[in-house]
Amino acid sequence: MQKRNRRDVVPHPSIETGPMIKHALSVTRQADFAAWYQDVIAEADLAEESGVRGCMVIKPWGYGIWERIQTVMDAAIKDAGVQNAYFPLFIPLSFFEKEADHVDGFAKEMAVVTHHRLIADSKGKLVPDPEAKLEEPLIVRPTSETVIGAAMSRWVQSWRDLPLKVNQWANVVRWEMRTRMFLRTSEFLWQEGHTAHADRDDAMAETLRALEMYRSFAEDVLAMPVIAGEKPENERFPGAVATYSIEAMMQDGKALQAGTSHYLGTGFAEAAGIRYQDRDGGHSLCHTTSWGTSTRMIGGVIMTHGDDDGLRCPPRIAPHQIVIVPMLRDNGEDAAILDYCRDLESRLKALDAFGEPVRVLLDTGANKAQTKRWGWVKKGAPIIVEVGPRDVAGGNVAVIRRDRLYQESGKLNSAFVAKGDFIADAAATLEDIQASLYAEARERLDANIRRDVTDLAAHFSGEDRFVGWAEVQWARPTGGALDRIVEQLKALKLTMRNTPLDAAPADSACIFTGEPAVERVLIGRTY
């Protein structure tokens, strides 16, 4: 089979326009994807290192994106009949010890609170007060199955209380040795849904409902195409019976797990004592689920839509969808420009896009118009509108669509449009930008999954190795046989991502064992 090279993953059309364009970032995706990622985060003012190990500061533009994600996701969660609640940050060690697989999976990377007071030592330096040592250490929650399970055991008495569906928006901590902003930080923000059901079928339906909610959210809201499927046994959540994920393809071809949904069986219910009396008076254990998405999705958005000029923010999650930049010159024309801009602002704010009022910012900050323009380009505002004295005179505006930043010539793609026409089209333009970003990412994903791979090593090693994903057939071995496959893939820096729900049925031999295959599994490098 012919080997194809890295070029198969095309980050973004603008990359093809090559050296003629001086881009806004100092490093391109092609030159150093990892450095480019950090540069986008810095230049788009999304986040920064905090000086606290493994913890980041999420800056207003980055947090604004998270607020948009929360708003839309929260509505979907509530529509599914799930109620929000809030559970403790701290989990006593004894709660954690109840579910053996769970604690094995998490014990190695948790923040442990051991004292509740500081005291000055003999040199006047503050130290944990030995008199204030906790009898039982507290764990800062890495996830909340145990403490929410304890609450569910109090709340569930009878079949009438089922299904019980709660969600919390919270911070969690998993101690990480190597951190990367948004993708892997010691503290991160997420939502975690937890549900209890009368039987396996109802719990499994909920597990798959949450997975589908995540798939449609990623695709429709983040404009990030994903593959939904079941994780292989070795990638399951600690203590779960089955784990499902959505996997997105970044512009370097690596996979990003962007959301997971777990069917937990009765293991957690047994550990926490979540039992109910059924209609016949008998007592049964509940079947539970949990599902989560996090600020990691923002990393996915950056690596899906970013280009060499910064972030391109999908309109549905852009804190400001349209930014108006008045070109002020500290002279007598400024007042007329500002009046013109304010009228534009209020007319745009009266519009709806995606069923919500359009989010518009008139940027009256102290910086120069040129600085503002490139600031918003780097932040990825979907539409940037510039207004100068000639625009006011002519009744025009100069419009930049962030997803079409350059003309073919390499010149900035700024279009003069009559103000009224711009307003009339604005909502449709936002919807077109959303659709275009999705289509571009979808095309990249579809073009970079190979279904004809028979020799993984030949494809995935060497300088010109394939950087996309392979969908291969396998026999779904377990135990030691699976471990050997995992090791074999690890040598190629590969992992199994998931077994896509919508894959074709198996019709051939397992690529690993030669036995008859039972399903298809996606393989690729990962974050």
Chain residues in the site for its own copies (CB under 8 A): 48, 50-52, 55-60, 63-64, 66-67, 83-93, 95-97, 103, 107-119, 126-128, 137-140, 147, 150-151, 154, 160, 166, 170-171, 173, 175, 187, 189, 365-367
Q: Smallest gap, in angstroms, from Cβ of residue 129 to its own copies? A: 9
Helix ranges (DSSP H) in 355-493: 369-379, 389-394, 419-447, 456-460, 479-491
Q: Which residue number, 63 or 376, has a Cβ lying nearer to its own copies?
A: 63
Shortest gap between Cβ of 274 and its own copies (angstroms)?
Answer: 14
Which residue's CB is nearer to its own copies, number 187 or number 471? 187
Residue 364 vs 508, nearer CB to its own copies? 364
CB 63, min distance to its own copies, A:
5
Cα torsion 56, 34, 436, 327 to 10°: value is: 70
Q: Which of 132, 491 has the CB closer to its own copies?
A: 132
Per-residue buried b or exposed e for 239-251, using 16+ beta carbons within 10 Å of the residue's own CB: bbbbbbbbbbbbb
User: Phi, psi (5° rounding) for residue 196?
Assistant: -125, 140
Cβ-based neighbour number of residue 343 at 10 Å: 12
Question: With respect to its own copies, which residue has the nearer C-beta, 29 or 197?
Answer: 197
Residue 281 Cβ vs its own copies, minimum distance, rounded to whole Å: 16
Tell the smallest beta-carbon distance from residue 94 to its own copies (Å).
9
Q: How far is the CB of 110 from its own copies (least distance, A)?
A: 6
Residue with tokens 């349209």: 322
Angle 197-260-192 (CA atoms, 0-180°, nearest 5)? 65
Ordered DSSP codes for 161-174: G-SEEEEEEEEEE-
- CA-CA distance, 348 to 520, in Å (whole number)? 48
Pairing of strands 396-401, 383-387: antiparallel
Q: For residues 171 and 526, which CB has a smaller minimum distance to its own copies in the complex? A: 171
Which token pair is 315?
């309109």
| Nearest distance in Å: CB 313, its own copies | 16
Least distance CB 134 / its own copies (angstroms): 8
C-alpha 472/C-alpha 227 separation (Å) is 14
Least spacing, CB of residue 166 vs its own copies, in Å: 7
**Would you give the distance in Å from CA 138 to the centre of its chain?**
29
Min dist CB 236 to its own copies, Å, is 21
Cα distances (angstroms) measured from residue 462 to each of 10, 250, 251, 466, 491 = 19, 20, 19, 9, 12
> Considering the complex, what minimum distance in angstroms separates the CB of residue 71 from its own copies?
10
CA separation, residue 293 to residues 182, 300, 375 (Å): 12, 12, 29
C-alpha 442/C-alpha 448 separation (Å) is: 10
185 or 304, CB closer to its own copies? 185
| Closer by beta carbon to its own copies, 95 or else 422 | 95
284 beta partners:
276
Token digits of residue 517: 């295959």
Count CB atoms within 10 A of the CB of residue 392.
20
Q: Which two tokens stand for residue 46?
A: 């999304």
Supply the minimum distance, in Å, between the C-beta of residue 186 and its own copies.
Answer: 8
Q: How far is the CB of 360 from its own copies (least distance, A)?
A: 14
For its own copies, the closer CB: 128 or 410: 128
Nearer to its own copies, 127 or 412 (CB): 127
Of 376 and 460, which has the nearer Cβ to its own copies? 376
| Of residues 28 and 144, the one with the C-beta less far from its own copies | 144
The span from the CA of 379 to the CA of 311, in Å, is 5
Distance CA 73, CA 187 (A): 21
Rounded to the nearest 5°, which phi and psi values hold at 512? -95, -45
Q: What is the DSSP string of 393-408?
A: HHTEEEEEEGGG-B-T
Q: Can you spell out the DSSP letters for 230-250?
A: EPPGGGS-TT-SEEEEEEEE-
Q: By C-beta, is 114 or 346 nearer to its own copies?
A: 114
Nearest to 417 by CA among 435, 400, 434: 400
Taking the C-alpha atoms of residue 167 and residue 146, their distance in angstroms, rounded to an integer, is: 14
